[in-house]
Amino acid sequence: MIFNDTIVALSSGRLPAGVAVIRISGPQTRFVIETMSGHLPLPRQAVLRAFYSQGDGEILDRGLLVFFPGPRSFTGEDVAELQIHGGQAVVSAMLKELTGFQHVRSAEPGEFTRRAFMNGKLDLVKTEALADLINADTQAQRRFAQRNADGAQSVLYADWRKRLIHARAMIEAEIDFADESDVPGSVAATIWADTACLAQEIEKHIEGFTAAEIIQDGFRVVILGAPNAGKSSLLNALAQRDAAIVTDEAGTTRDLLDIVLDLGGLKIIVTDTAGLRENPGRVEAIGIEKAQARGKKADLVLFLEDMSDPQMVEIDWLAGDHIKVGTKLDLIEFDQTQHDQYDFCISHLSGHGIADLLEAIKQKAEARLAAAGDILPFRMRHVELLEESLEHLTEAQNTLQPLEIRAEELRLCANLLGRISGAVNVEDLLDVIFSQFCIGK
């Protein structure tokens, strides 16, 4: 696709910095380079150049210039990257000079990537993965985004579409040549067996979204227990700072308080909650309601009990995974029978058991990820399209429907899969997807 205007942006991070990278893409790129720095350098080779102002011939800066002639560039157009000194004034003078050329303007957020997509350099899934790679905070997020950007997911969907298109072709052949028995019944049986298999694969793939959410948004750990059980003390010990207020007054914590941990590269969100007890005050009751709601949505609940003063707390409503933790170990005489009631016994005073508990949280999170496959849908958008395509595939299996309708359901299913990677009709999605990017990407 040919764009008339050339776009320019600072592609590197916050200024001042040692080096700043300015990126230019579009049909004016060659002219701009030649005007500001002399002849075009060899493709993809870094050269040291002075960059001159058109107005008074002043040198604005010296730096490295790399020229990537289209179509072998990130956007598919002529692209140049200028590595210059990362000072505020240097960069603003250079950007002002560049956008002073005719048909050259500042890029919108994500516009370079959008051009890459329009020119067939990236598909939508890879584009989204690239946005995630740029925003990755933890090593697990980086590795996951890297894998998605490599395109394994797009290959999987392309393979599914191929199977569907083949199935549809065979079914249509059966419709067209029914009388001539050119398509033996056994072929149709094989096709329907394969589409049934595909439906299972898609279903399993959709289930993997939970694992993707854990990687992207974090593994949610919620600390629950009676007032004074030591919940806030545990949160502070895990955070290694005073994130929550700790007093000996029962009911100190009224609201939810989150901290974020990086455990072995995984993002873990730990939430402190209001103590669970019967007949709380009005404000406390709201806190308890919130605690229960968060506990129900948690990936893991740490249920704390003060070993020196155990309280009866109703936790039957807890459906998910939980670890029972005995606290204030330092206050009690050793008693094996009492120890055996808990998965872990800890003391914030002595630090006993905290490291083991952290390790257990990490292992629980890793186990959840290991259970999912390698290729996961990583946007709600993917899941919605997958679910819709699965509905059509299920409908296609319905032997009560005429063959024509079943074939049409296969076509609809393939189209929806095509929308995930952008192979089919996605104009309406583009603004949403590219707005996730920063300027210069």
Ligand X SMILES: Nc1nc2c(ncn2[C@@H]2O[C@H](COP(=O)(O)OP(=O)(O)OP(=O)(O)O)[C@@H](O)[C@H]2O)c(=O)[nH]1
Task: Give me the residues that bind ligand X (CB under 6 A), please.
Answer: 225, 227-233, 246-248, 250-253, 275, 327-328, 330-331, 347-349
Contacts 24+ apart (CB under 8 A), 55-61: 60/90, 60/93, 60/94, 60/97, 61/85, 61/90, 61/93, 61/94
- Residue 426 Cβ vs ligand X, minimum distance, rounded to whole Å: 49
- Residue 438 Cβ vs ligand X, minimum distance, rounded to whole Å: 40
Write out the DSSP string of 108-120.
PTTHHHHHHHHTT
Q: Which is nearer to ligand X, 216 or 236 (CB)?
A: 236
Q: Which is nearer to ligand X, 141 or 347 (CB)?
A: 347
404 contacts 171 by C-beta, under 8 angstroms:
no
- Residue 322 Cβ vs ligand X, minimum distance, rounded to whole Å: 16
Q: Which residues, in sequence order, are bridge partners of residue 65?
A: 47, 82
136 labelled binding-site residue: no
Which structure tokens are listed for 381? Answer: 């958008």
326 labelled binding-site residue: no
359 labelled binding-site residue: no
Q: Which is nearer to ligand X, 88 or 247 (CB)?
A: 247
Helix, coil or strand: residue 43: strand
Rounded to an integer, what distance in angstroms lies between the CA atom of residue 219 and that of residue 239? 15
- Residue 400 Cβ vs ligand X, minimum distance, rounded to whole Å: 58
238 contacts 422 by C-beta, under 8 angstroms:
no
55 contacts 69 by C-beta, under 8 angstroms:
no
Which structure tokens are listed for 136? Answer: 């990755």
Which residue number places its CB atom closest to ligand X?
A: 275
For the stretch 200-239, what's the b/e string if a residue is b when 16 or more beta carbons lie within 10 angstroms of its beta carbon?
eebeebbebbebbbbbbebbbbbbbbbbbbbbbbbbbbbb
92 labelled binding-site residue: no
138 labelled binding-site residue: no
Q: Which is nearer to ligand X, 217 or 356 (CB)?
A: 356
Q: Which is nearer to ligand X, 236 or 421 (CB)?
A: 236
- Residue 247 Cβ vs ligand X, minimum distance, rounded to whole Å: 6
- Known binding-site residues equal 23, 81, 121, 228-233, 247-253, 272-275, 441
- Known binding-site residues for GTP equal 228-233, 247-253, 272-275
- Known binding-site residues for (6S)-5-formyl-5,6,7,8-tetrahydrofolate equal 23, 81, 121, 441
